[in-house]
């Protein structure tokens, strides 16, 4: 015994083990696409007669034959391999025809082998046919008691059709399934033109075709896999959104990605819903039956089905990646191959099968022809043959006598040339019989001596001659072999081809949730108790002022709407809480609901909000490139203001970000975007206001977010700031502003005098702090210049009265003063407090909401421009005890006629005293 080091022995033994696993267990052969265990199962079942045209036999019988003769690795591994070949969701073309419980796509285990029955499927015959005609090599089995094929003489590229997966030592394979018809067509095309490129083949085979269907996203991964043998293919489930009942939609899944367990998939979805990683799902159930797969995922009313489906694709196996690794054994060596490489390897192998089969058939035909030549000689010399046989003492002597005699070769020579027989040698016109021919003559039955039988012998000899010539042509000509291969492939195609099951889409796989949301304007509403919703803006049609409005939301208890604004679905919205924290969310992620719906609690949308309430909401510009040049100005109820860069709030985590330091009794009332040089306008509930310019001297940019800011306006006792807006700064003297206002108001009165006869308008009272009107005129050019830069402010009282005023009516002063009067409440019926002051544009509308939940949309052009202290006209006819709580502009161009079917009969501006109450608008 030679001593060996442990290192050397481990290296040698592990290498042998690795090669055994690679070659004999884990990797398929490129020629027949089978691993040894699958090959042995198919061969053993054929040898036992379990073919497709025979009755089913117990699976245990087939497993026992395979284990006892060819595969001594345990019955479990053999049965598992056989079960997989019988599963329609695992194989593109089934190779085993099973009867009984062979598992399910839910991952259910198959029944024990003693309960199931199986036989070879029809397609398996195309892998096994001609195996007994010397088409492939055989090798001894594990105990050398039997012989088994090294490979099956496959008639179609099974490796590509059914794919394969396996893990060897240091390497693995994962080959997807393909459409059998497409693969055979590609093989035929490559036979016809071996110079075809990959692009040419991909026109025939666009990509894998999985038995479970689904949708492949993109083609780059497919091309990489087909070109190099490696690539990643993204498979997505086939899903549709249906309305299962009124106002309730559901996602219907009818196909799932390949090798995904349906039951595990549903469990994963349920876990994500419980963990609130996916929101908007109310129920999930499996309605699959014999007709097909159907998973129903019901969506909540306030959720967007497209977004929920996209989240399911992102977080579950409804969208999975199939890593293609086309590694197979080629001439016994592991090789990474692309699509063309695999087809070329199959064509080369199949050509060799056809060549070997032709040689085998030629030998058989020649043997038969050789025997027929002997029969022809015997029949031609029947009397001599009979006499010779009768004279012989035994069969051996008769055989020897037949072989020793020289027979006349006159009639035999053409026959020998016809069948290319070299077994008989003609010398001096005579020929000797071979031993095979002598035995054939001795075995000749007397009935063959009749005239009819003699003709049959000659006819058979002619047929053998034709067959031999055909086989010789196949052996000698490669184009002829390709023609035979083409005909056989067409025959197989007619049997196993089927329509494509997997769709290939050019849509990118990574879609953001936002890309699925249709762009549009939304009205976002927030209630005092912290409920939020969004409603499409087109739901609210314009009405004339003085109407009764429509129901905006169903209030619960004494909950009222406190804030509303309109924004684009793709805009960011900043939420500022009473505790001074900022949160950020996209508009489309806010719950969508009808005008009468309650909405969803903000604490559910912003889990880290806690006991705080949202006190300020700011829709940000949709174009984020504008954020760099924008600042945020904060205003609190106590009159403090602060300026920060908008970019300071670009990254806000889900738990929020400290936005402003607030005193215990203070709260944020507004946040607005601004630029250097613009004016800050603050208005209070007790009808005071102040306007000051944004400069580094008056309101510097704060570096941090934890400051409480500086004083913006000095408040009287009991007063508080309730409006913040940013105005453009216009350089104009006091006299220029006074002259412009005098000229502009005179022109407006002249334009509207005909339509406002008899209107009761409160006197435009001058207060002590009002600036005296100057007498200095302005040029027409200066008037036009000031008119182009003019901004109009709308002020609304708590009882629904309001008026528009020119921004020139509000002088620019220093920060921190007591401000000037904004509205005078000489008549208590017109209100006692200012609800809001905001800039409005001509041709736009405003919406007003009351504490009773009613909402009205009014064109601002119907509101007269007056002095800033005027009490205004009726905008919203409120009921007794009802007050306006929120006013916000509608900035969208609305093509709808303001004169709706529910509008008042007259569009004359009034204070509500000259007309009866308008009818309650319908919800249509």
Q: Is residue 93 part of a domain?
A: yes
Instruction: Identify whether residues 293 and 417 lie together within a single domain.
Output: no
**DSSP per position, 739-793:** HHHHHHHHHHHHHHTTT-TT------PPPTTSPPPP-----HHHHHHHHHH--EE
Mean pLDDT, to the nearest integer, of 667-693?
89
Query: What is the band of 452 on the pLDDT scale with cuts at 50, 70, 90?
Result: low
Domain boundary among 134, 153, 172: 153
Provide the edge-to-edge strand list for the sheet that holds 430-432. 406-408, 430-432, 426-427
Instruction: Identify whether residues 604 and 661 lie together within a single domain.
Output: yes
Instruction: Identify whether residues 308 and 366 lie together within a single domain.
Output: no
User: pLDDT tens across 288-308, in order?
Assistant: 998 899 999 999 887 888 889
Question: What pLDDT is attached to residue 688?
Answer: 92
Question: What pLDDT is attached to residue 3?
Answer: 85
Provide the edge-to-edge strand list for the sheet that holds 215-217. 164-167, 172-175, 319-325, 230-236, 215-217, 503-505
Check pLDDT > 80 for residue 331: yes
Query: What is the band of 118 on the pLDDT scale with cuts at 50, 70, 90?
Result: very high
Question: What pLDDT is attached to residue 493?
Answer: 96
Question: What pLDDT is attached to residue 674?
Answer: 87
Q: Is residue 825 part of a domain?
A: yes
Question: What pLDDT is attached to residue 69?
Answer: 93
What is the signed CA dihedral for 729, 733, 734, 739, rounded to 10 degrees? -100
Active site residue 70: no
Better pLDDT: 764 or 704: 704
Better pLDDT: 277 or 418: 277
Q: Is residue 357 part of a domain?
A: no
- CA 711 distance to own-chain centroid: 53
Give me the phi and psi of 166, to 5 degrees please. -175, 155
Check pLDDT > 80 for residue 724: yes
CATH number of the CATH domain containing 702: 2.120.10.90
Domain boundary among 126, 153, 180: 153
Query: What is the band of 38 on the pLDDT scale with cuts at 50, 70, 90?
Result: very high
User: pLDDT tens across 735-792, in order?
Assistant: 888 888 888 888 877 776 645 544 444 434 333 344 444 456 788 888 888 888 899 9
Better pLDDT: 868 or 765: 868
With a pLDDT cut of 70, the percent of the chain lying above it is: 88
Check pLDDT > 90 for residue 257: yes
Check pLDDT > 60 for residue 922: no
Q: Is residue 80 part of a domain?
A: yes
Question: What pLDDT is attached to residue 556?
Answer: 52
Instruction: Identify whether residues 742 and 672 lie together within a single domain.
Output: yes
Instruction: Identify whether residues 443 and 301 lie together within a single domain.
Output: no
Check pLDDT > 70 for residue 541: no
Question: What pLDDT is attached to residue 559?
Answer: 61
Question: What pLDDT is attached to residue 598?
Answer: 76
Check pLDDT > 50 for residue 850: yes
Q: Which residue has the tokens 């109450």?
A: 917
Question: What pLDDT is attached to residue 336?
Answer: 94
Q: CA–CA separation, 122 vs 95, rounded Å?
A: 7
CATH number of the CATH domain containing 302: 3.30.1360.40
Q: Which one of 406-420, 562-576, 870-884 scores highest in mean pLDDT? A: 870-884
Query: What is the band of 920 on the pLDDT scale with cuts at 50, 70, 90?
Result: very low
**DSSP per position, 285-345:** EE--BTTB--EEEEE-TTS-HHHHHHHHHHHSTTEEEEEEE-EEEETTEEEE--HHHHHHH
Mean pLDDT, the chain, whole residue set: 84
Q: CA–CA separation, 740 vs 419, rounded Å?
A: 120
Return the structure tokens found at 916: 């009866």
Query: What is the band of 919 on the pLDDT scale with cuts at 50, 70, 90?
Result: very low
Check pLDDT > 90 for residue 591: no
With a pLDDT cut of 90, the percent of the chain lying above it is: 41
Domain boundary among 133, 153, 173: 153
Query: What is the band of 76 on the pLDDT scale with cuts at 50, 70, 90?
Result: very high
Mean pLDDT, to the nearest integer, of 80-94?
95
Query: What is the band of 237 on the pLDDT scale with cuts at 50, 70, 90?
Result: very high
Check pLDDT > 60 for residue 322: yes
Q: Is residue 495 part of a domain?
A: no
Instruction: Identify whether residues 706 and 795 lie together within a single domain.
Output: yes
Least confident range of 201-210, 467-476, 513-522: 513-522
Instruction: Identify whether residues 632 and 731 lie together within a single domain.
Output: yes
Q: The domain containing residue 819 runs over which residues?
A: 517-890
Least confident range of 338-342, 345-349, 875-879: 875-879
Q: How far is CA 647 from CA 628, 629, 917, in A?
A: 6, 9, 50
Instruction: Identify whether residues 567 and 446 lie together within a single domain.
Output: no
Q: Is residue 577 part of a domain?
A: yes
Query: What is the band of 649 on the pLDDT scale with cuts at 50, 70, 90?
Result: confident
Instruction: Identify whether residues 56 and 142 lie together within a single domain.
Output: yes
Mean pLDDT, to the nearest integer, of 797-817?
91
User: CA 37, 43, 47 angle in degrees (round to 5)?
Assistant: 140
Q: CA–CA separation, 848 vs 834, rounded Å?
A: 13
Q: Is residue 25 part of a domain?
A: no
Check pLDDT > 50 for residue 898: no
Instruction: Identify whether residues 450 and 549 lie together within a single domain.
Output: no
Question: How many domains are there within the chain?
Answer: 4
Instruction: Identify whether residues 462 and 529 lie together within a single domain.
Output: no
- CA 505 distance to own-chain centroid: 10
Query: What is the band of 83 on the pLDDT scale with cuts at 50, 70, 90?
Result: very high
Question: What pLDDT is attached to residue 900?
Answer: 33
Contact indicator for 251, 241 with CB cutoff of 8 Å: yes
Closest CA to 415 of 456, 366, 360, 382: 366
Check pLDDT > 60 for residue 626: yes
Contact indicator for 119, 94 with CB cutoff of 8 Å: no
Question: What pLDDT is attached to residue 608?
Answer: 75
Mean pLDDT, to the nearest integer, of 31-48?
95
Instruction: Identify whether residues 310 and 444 lie together within a single domain.
Output: no
Mean pLDDT, to the nearest integer, of 472-495?
95
**Catalytic one of 14, 56, 79, 115:** 115
Return the structure tokens found at 145: 């008691």
Question: What pLDDT is attached to residue 908?
Answer: 28
Q: Is residue 613 part of a domain?
A: yes
Question: What pLDDT is attached to residue 191?
Answer: 95
**Positive or negative torsion for Cα 657, 663, 668, 674:** negative
Closest CA to 884 of 835, 840, 838, 918: 835
Question: What pLDDT is attached to residue 380?
Answer: 79
Question: What pLDDT is attached to residue 551?
Answer: 54
Check pLDDT > 80 for residue 546: no
Check pLDDT > 90 for residue 100: yes
User: pLDDT tens across 599-618, in order?
Assistant: 888 887 787 777 777 777 77
């Amino acid at each position: 015994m030679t001593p060996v080091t442990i290192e050397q022995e481990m290296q040698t033994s592990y290498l042998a083990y690795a090669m055994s696993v690679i070659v004999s267990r884990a990797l398929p052969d490129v020629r027949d696409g089978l691993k040894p265990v699958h090959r042995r199962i198919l061969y053993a079942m054929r040898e036992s007669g379990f073919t497709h045209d025979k009755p089913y036999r117990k699976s245990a019988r087939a497993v026992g034959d395979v284990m006892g003769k060819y595969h001594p690795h345990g019955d479990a591994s053999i049965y598992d391999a056989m079960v997989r070949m019988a599963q329609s969701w695992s194989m593109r073309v089934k190779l085993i025809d099973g009867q009984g419980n062979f598992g399910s796509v839910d991952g259910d285990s198959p029944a024990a082998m003693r309960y199931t029955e199986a036989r070879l499927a029809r397609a398996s015959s195309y892998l096994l046919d001609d195996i007994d005609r010397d088409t492939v090599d055989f090798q001894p089995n594990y105990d050398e008691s039997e012989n088994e094929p090294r490979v099956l003489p496959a008639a179609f590229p099974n490796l590509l059709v059914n794919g394969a997966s396996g893990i060897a030592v240091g390497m693995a394979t994962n080959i997807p399934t393909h459409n059998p018809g497409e693969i055979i067509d590609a093989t035929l095309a490559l036979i016809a033109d071996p110079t075809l490129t990959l692009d040419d083949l991909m026109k025939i085979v666009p990509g894998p075709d999985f038995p479970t269907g689904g949708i492949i996203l993109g083609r780059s991964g497919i091309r990489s896999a087909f070109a190099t043998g490696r690539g990643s293919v993204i498979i997505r489930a086939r899903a549709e959104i249906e309305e299962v009942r009124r106002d309730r939609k559901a996602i219907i899944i009818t196909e799932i990605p390949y090798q995904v367990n349906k039951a595990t998939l549903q469990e994963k979805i349920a876990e994500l819903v419980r963990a609130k990683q996916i929101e908007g799902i109310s129920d999930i159930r499996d309605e699959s039956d014999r007709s097909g797969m159907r998973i129903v995922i019901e969506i909540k009313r306030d959720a967007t089905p497209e977004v929920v489906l996209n989240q399911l694709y992102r977080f579950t196996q409804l969208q999975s990646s199939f890593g293609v690794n086309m590694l197979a054994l080629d001439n016994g060596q592991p090789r990474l191959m692309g699509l063309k490489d695999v087809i070329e390897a199959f064509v080369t192998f199949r050509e060799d099968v056809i060549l070997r089969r032709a040689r085998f058939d030629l030998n058989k035909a020649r043997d038969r022809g050789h025997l027929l030549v002997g029969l022809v000689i015997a029949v031609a010399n029947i009397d001599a043959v009979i006499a010779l046989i009768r004279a012989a003492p035994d069969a051996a002597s008769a055989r020897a006598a037949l072989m020793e005699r020289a027979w006349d070769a006159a009639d035999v020579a053409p026959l020998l040339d016809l069948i290319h027989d070299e077994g008989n040698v003609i010398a001096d016109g005579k020929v000797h019989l071979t031993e095979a021919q002598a035995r054939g003559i001795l075995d000749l039955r007397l009935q063959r001596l009749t005239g009819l039988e003699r003709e049959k012998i000659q006819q058979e000899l002619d047929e053998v001659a034709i067959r031999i010539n055909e086989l010789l042509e196949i052996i000698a000509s490669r184009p002829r072999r390709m023609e035979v291969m083409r005909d056989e492939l067409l025959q197989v195609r007619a049997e196993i081809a089927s329509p494509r099951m997997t769709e290939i889409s050019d849509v990118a796989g990574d879609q953001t949730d936002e890309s699925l949301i249709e762009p549009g304007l939304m009205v976002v509403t927030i209630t005092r108790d912290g409920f939020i919703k969004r409603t499409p803006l087109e739901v609210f049609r314009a009405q004339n002022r003085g109407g009764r409005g429509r129901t905006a939301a169903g209030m619960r208890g004494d909950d009222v709407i406190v804030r509303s604004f309109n924004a684009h679905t793709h805009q960011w919205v900043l939420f500022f809480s009473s505790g001074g924290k900022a949160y950020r969310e996209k508009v489309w992620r806010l719950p969508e609901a009808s005008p009468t719906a309650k909405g969803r609690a903000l604490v559910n949308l912003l889990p880290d909000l806690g006991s705080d309430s949202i006190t300020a909401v700011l829709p940000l510009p949709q174009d984020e490139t504008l954020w760099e040049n924008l600042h945020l100005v904060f205003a609190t109820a106590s009159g403090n203001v602060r300026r920060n860069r908008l970019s300071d709030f670009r990254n806000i985590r889900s738990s929020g970000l400290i936005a402003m330091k607030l005193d215990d009794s203070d709260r944020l009332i507004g946040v607005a975007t601004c630029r250097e040089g613009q004016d800050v306008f603050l208005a209070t509930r007790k009808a005071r206001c102040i306007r000051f310019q944004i400069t580094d001297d008056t309101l510097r940019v704060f570096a941090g977010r934890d400051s409480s800011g500086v004083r913006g306006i000095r408040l009287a006792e009991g007063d508080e700031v309730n409006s913040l807006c940013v105005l453009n700064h216009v350089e104009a003297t006091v006299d220029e502003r006074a002259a412009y206002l005098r000229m502009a108001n005179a022109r407006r009165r002249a334009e509207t005098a005909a339509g406002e006869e008899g209107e009761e308008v409160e006197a435009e009272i001058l207060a002590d702090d009002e600036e005296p009107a100057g007498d200095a005129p302005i040029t027409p050019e200066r008037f036009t210049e000031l008119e182009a830069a003019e901004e109009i402010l709308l002020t609304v009282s708590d009882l629904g009265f309001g008026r528009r005023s020119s921004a020139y009516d509000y002088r620019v002063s220093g920060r921190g003063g007591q401000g000037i009067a904004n509205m005078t409440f000489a008549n208590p019926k017109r209100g006692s407090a200012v609800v809001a002051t905001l800039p409005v544009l001509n041709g736009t509308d405003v919406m007003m909401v009351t504490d009773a939940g009613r909402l009205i949309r009014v064109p601002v052009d119907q509101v007269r421009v007056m002095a800033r202290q005027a009490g205004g006209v009726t905008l919203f006819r409120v009921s007794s005890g009802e007050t306006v709580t929120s006013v916000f502009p509608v900035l969208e161009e609305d093509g709808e006629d303001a004169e709706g079917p529910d509008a008042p009969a007259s569009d004359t501006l009034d204070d509500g005293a000259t007309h009866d109450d308008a009818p309650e608008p319908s919800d249509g």
